[in-house]
A and B are shown apart, each in its own frame.
Chain A
């Protein structure tokens, strides 16, 4: 007998593609029974009907729980939406202030439209009046210099001018300048941050901008909430690197408070963290080329990236698949490079890849891509939000229902890719770098001699757990320094990756050797990559 309470349709409506999943409550837990993605223009309804039909046809129990396809659209839905990255402009009294404000804007999911060379008021005004700008950020330092004091009246007048012409724009004003915003209609549209933007690295400004930039039903808001739930439920430090069509996000969530009963999180959203930003500069194209095991010249690669931006759902097999993974690596690399404050936090226990960029890539290839660019010394589990469930499930309004859904669907929500062990400081030498043994169920199942500079892949299927014993000749950094380690590991589609390459990774500078190295590292995990 069909019961709506037992079924949820989960929809992640992105800016490029839409992902639909069917969750069914069976045997006391939520199970993912079907999932598929399609170009956003196709819409969710066509996928819902198809998935319900497919699920009913393969399993008699599901056929009893799920409605007929003609009534599939009546099933309760949990929906998250993506949105194009909004534009923001900066008006500041000095170049120093403009740079501070611009850094906060860039880390908060906005495209910066303002010229950074303050105080060019005409340029700043022109940027603020662009139709895609939704937020104007202004600020002054703690102790305004004489030139800053002189220009404050102009900034206030410029804000009034923008407010009169663009009723849909809101304002964020930091520091003493905020007290000068007197006009009631402008003040009503202004978020005031009392302390100057420089305080605490701009954390208050970033938090305010993140709040303004993410609508209540935004996927990234949901991913943050879901990551917090996962951190709390598993009592782990969780890092998520999300790469989408419009932007990318890096977040770290960890249990905190008395008895680890709550969570804390740090979030950065970057428009430049998108899989392929529009009109990428040459350095970005070269960075993507550097991660490609396939030789491709800059002109041809540019054309393919233009197409990848326009139709990101297309050309996903063959060379296109390699290109997407290379672009995703470069995107995570940009995210990591732009968020040194997150690197300063302790290494995560679980690293999750999320976002449409990873959706069609073979799971083991995603595991390698993660350890290539988000590498920290230590051991961490790797996961993939393969059905794009984190965003919608994190948006469930009722905290109890949200926790029940995430706890129940955890194993299906985060596909286990395996465990990565990344020691820093492994040295090559006679007799090898050391050895690793893996014990599963009380018996040693694997013993390997380690070679510096390589990636060793140990088969460890999803669901399996074991103890890896690592013994190295010279002391290495694995979160702590030592020569012998016992590491609890869990399996996944990529197995156990023992990564003895440099931290951070140094690629050969010659393109042919670099491609050879990339292909050699990739071959065990993605044997079909070049077929």
Chain B
């Protein structure tokens, strides 16, 4: 045993954070706003691509007296009012009532949320609807599995997975229309311009290890501008696996992505996750002693666990529990235990 390795022996891995590689049958949430119309019911089974709800932009509140000859009691809050806007007499103003979501009935006057510019919310995968709350959200139990990230932008979106072989940054020049309809898994980082180009090329989603916060904000601003236009835009999503600081995709995650390459996958935002059907796939096995440096200057490097070193003094005089890690190049380094992660 090397000097200083005695604190915890080969144990200590139990103090290292475990990140799940695959989550079976995840619950996925989709936000709804007042004015949106859910098209599914609690407990309903849906196939990928089924329209779960219609979302609307430019929602306004229409107030009108209880329609004559309609319900004796007010409809439940959140109920969909189909409207009676059949007749619109020229020069005599609008007759009837518009379709929309009934918000509430105040003083025998209905307040109905009426939207324009419809967008479909499609199921990203097969599953069963767990709960629908009009104006609030919809929860779907996905039949397949998911690999989690730390954040997602946009979505949900689905397509066949194309895994880029090199763990390098995705450049705009590498994109072509042959990738239209695909979800591409790229390397360490991507910039907002490339993401915009991806969308323009018809790509449905990007899986990336990291996205700088500046690029994320730039891309969101670009998305907001596009959405403000009259025409709806195709679904597009970015799944961020690790964070904002550069490091490559973890090798267990890359192995998983390669094993499902070519399959239909979907990116969902809440929780941030890549959803897929695991049937017939041999999921990669992660060795028990595999560790990855998740944070700090050496973030992204991988190796095997050697020993718990106990409390060590690190840079800036900070004292932290450390682990000894044998890196891929054969060198051994002491790493703060909290900077390490493993996969299971």
Question: Closest residue to A36 on the B side, CB-wise?
Answer: B321
With most chain B CB atoms within 10 A of its CB, the pick from A42, A302, A317, A321 is A317
Stretch binding the partner chain, chosen from A196-204, A261-269, A304-312: A304-312
Stretch binding the partner chain, chosen from B119-127, B196-204, B224-232, B292-300: B292-300
Stretch binding the partner chain, chosen from A70-78, A156-164, A449-457, A494-502: A156-164
Does A310 lie within 8 Å of B150, measured CB to CB? yes
Does A317 lie within 8 Å of B316, measured CB to CB? yes
Can you name 29 A-B residue pairings with CB atoms under 8 Å?
A: A38-B337, A41-B18, A42-B17, A46-B15, A122-B59, A122-B61, A129-B34, A129-B133, A153-B107, A154-B104, A161-B77, A299-B212, A299-B214, A302-B212, A303-B214, A303-B244, A306-B244, A310-B243, A311-B243, A311-B295, A313-B338, A314-B336, A315-B299, A316-B318, A317-B296, A321-B316, A362-B318, A528-B317, A531-B315
CA distance A130 to B212 in the complex (A): 27
Chain B nearest Cβ from A117, distance in angstroms: 15
Chain B nearest Cβ from A233, distance in angstroms: 30
Residues of A near B243 (CB, < 8 A) are 303, 306-307, 310-311
Partner-A contacts on B (CB < 8 A):
8, 14-18, 29, 31, 33-34, 59-61, 76-78, 103-107, 111, 113, 133-137, 150-151, 212-214, 243-245, 294-297, 299, 314-321, 336-339
Residues of A near B31 (CB, < 8 A) are 130-131
Does A158 lie within 8 Å of B103, measured CB to CB? yes
Does A315 lie within 8 Å of B136, measured CB to CB? no
Residues of B near A153 (CB, < 8 A) are 106-107
Residues of A near B314 (CB, < 8 A) are 317-318
CA distance A63 to B164 in the complex (A): 56
CA distance A162 to B76 in the complex (A): 11
Does B320 lie within 8 Å of A42, measured CB to CB? no
Question: Closest residue to A158 on the B side, CB-wise?
Answer: B104
Question: Closest residue to B319 on the A side, CB-wise?
Answer: A360
Does B136 lie within 8 Å of A131, measured CB to CB? yes
- Is A33 in contact with chain B by the CB < 8 A criterion? no
Question: Closest residue to A298 on the B side, CB-wise?
Answer: B214
Residue from A126, A160, A316, A528 within 8 A of B320 (CB atoms)? A316
Chain B nearest Cβ from A156, distance in angstroms: 8
Contact pattern, A 15-55, Cβ under 8 Å of B = 1, otherwise 0? 00000000000000000000010110110001100100000
- Is A521 in contact with chain B by the CB < 8 A criterion? no
Does B137 lie within 8 Å of A131, measured CB to CB? yes
CA distance A494 to B243 in the complex (A): 36
With most chain A CB atoms within 10 A of its CB, the pick from B297, B299, B314, B318 is B318
Does B104 lie within 8 Å of A160, measured CB to CB? yes
Contact pattern, A 76-114, Cβ under 8 Å of B = 1, otherwise 0? 000000000000000000000000000000000000000
Chain A nearest Cβ from B20, distance in angstroms: 10
Does B104 lie within 8 Å of A165, measured CB to CB? no
Does B33 lie within 8 Å of A38, measured CB to CB? no
Does A306 lie within 8 Å of B213, measured CB to CB? yes
Given contacts A129-B136, A131-B137, A311-B243, contact A157 B318 (CB under 8 A): no
- Is A526 in contact with chain B by the CB < 8 A criterion? yes
